[in-house]
Amino acid sequence: MSTDQSGVPQSPQFGSVEDVTERLAGVGYLASTACATTVYLADRLGKPLLVEGPAGVGKTELAKAVAAATNSGLVRLQCYEGIDEARALYEWNHAKQLLRITAGQGHEDWDATRDDVFSEEFLLPRPLLTAIRRTEPTVLLVDEMDKADVEVEGLLLEVLSDFQVSVPEMGTITAKRRPFVVLTSNSTRELSEALKRRCLFLHLDFPDADLERRIVLSRVPELPEKLCDSLVRTVRVLRGLELRKAPSVAETIDWARTLLALGLDTLDDDAARATLGVVLKHHSDAQRAAAELRLN
């Protein structure tokens, strides 16, 4: 089995798929079967979880919810174009090293100084190293992986498959406890096959009607159930149109809050016309939806 290739001890946090669903719900994240199953497997098999899907379906939220449900610390690496080793892995604290060398001048020989400045004290851990070294349960979130350059993926391979980091001056640091790793991607570019191979893949899509209703109600509890129902139905119809940006769950919630704030209790022609801008962010989308749904 591929679970213990790296030999890093890891204790599963969840007992069953139902357990995942329940505990995630306990911290306010309502997961679909696909989502709960994959989280359970990632935990059981000790594999990183690669979450892909449109913006606003709760990819980042999932990592946060797993951290909260398992009482783990969340270590987050936010990727961006041009992120490099020094930002992702570790860096030497140059200023402090210089100070140390200056302070030791005159009464210390070079060998001792050199050994000292490349030690623990002068190492600045960045998210990946931090996650590896933690002894408490940890969730490592690598957010928007697709924004980073291809070179960073290579960096991640060592961390994700062996859960270790090599620092040339100090040797290899191996994880004492395997972190639960979540990578998210908006698929603006294809991630490399090597990286995908090491992960379990979860395509997080818009939730089904029933789940979305429950999500909206849990976020906006004061929303009347009937209004919630027609909101969710309308949003689902909107997603069926060919729009540039389909409304996500976050937008459904925004819409619910808007209607509440305006004191509207039904979604009729006038209410829809006045508030459609909350869910559709492009002018051409709004025009199209209005024409197709006979709002004009």
Partner 1 sequence: MKPPPHGLPGHLIDFVGALRKHQVPVGPGESVDAAAVMSVLDLMQRDQFKEGLAAALLRRSGQRAVFDTLFDLYFPIAIGRGSGEVEVPWTEDGQVDLDALRDLLADLLRDGDDDALRELARAVVDALGQAGSQGGGGGAGGKQGQQPNWSAYQVLRQVSPETLLARILKDLMDGNQDSFAEEVARREIRQRIADFRRMVTEEVRRRTAEVRGKDPVARTAVPKQAEQVEFLSAYAEQLTQLRKTVHPLARRLASRLAVRRKHAKRGQMDLRRTLRRSMSTGGVPMRPAYKTRRPGRPELVVFCDVSGSVAGFSHFTLLLVQALREQFSKVRVFAFVERADEVTHLFAPGNDLATVMSRVLREAELVTFDGHSDYGGALASMVEHWPDAVGPRSSLLILGDARTNYRDPNLAVLRRLAGQARHTHFLNPEPRNQWGTGDSAALRYADLVPMHECRTVAQLANVVESLLPV
Which residue in the set 133, 233, 275, 278 belongs to the binding site for partner 1 (CB under 8 A)? 233
Q: Which stretch binds partner 1 (CB under 8 A): 84-92, 113-121, 154-162, 228-236?
A: 228-236
Extract the tokens encoding 288. 């199209």
In this structure, which long-range contacts are made by residues 32-35, counting pairs with CB atoms below 8 Å and at least 24 apart in sequence? 32/207, 32/208, 32/211, 34/202, 34/203, 34/204, 35/62, 35/202, 35/204
Q: Closer to partner 1 at the Cβ: 173 or 295?
A: 295
Q: Which stretch binds partner 1 (CB under 8 A): 89-97, 159-167, 253-261, 281-289?
A: 281-289
Size of interface with partner 1, in residues (CB under 8 A): 52
265 binds partner 1 (CB under 8 A): no
Q: Which stretch binds partner 1 (CB under 8 A): 106-114, 129-137, 157-165, 200-208?
A: 200-208
HSE-up of 128 (CA within 13 Å, CB side)? 29
Residues 6+ apart with CB under 8 A from 296: 290
Q: Which stretch binds partner 1 (CB under 8 A): 61-69, 157-165, 211-219, 268-276?
A: 268-276
Helix (H, G, I), strand (E, B) or coil at 137: coil
The Cβ of residue 194 has, within 10 Å, a number of other Cβ atoms equal to 13
Number of H helices, E strands in the chain: 14, 9
Which residue in the set 74, 250, 278, 293 belongs to the binding site for partner 1 (CB under 8 A)? 293
CA dihedral 153, 159, 161, 162 (to 10 degrees): 150
200 binds partner 1 (CB under 8 A): yes
22 binds partner 1 (CB under 8 A): no
Question: Where along the sequence are the contacts to partner 1 (CB under 8 A)?
Answer: 1-3, 16-17, 33-34, 37-38, 41, 44-45, 47, 52-53, 149-150, 187-190, 193, 196-197, 200-203, 205, 209, 230, 233-234, 236-237, 240, 242, 244, 267-269, 272-273, 282-284, 287-288, 292-295
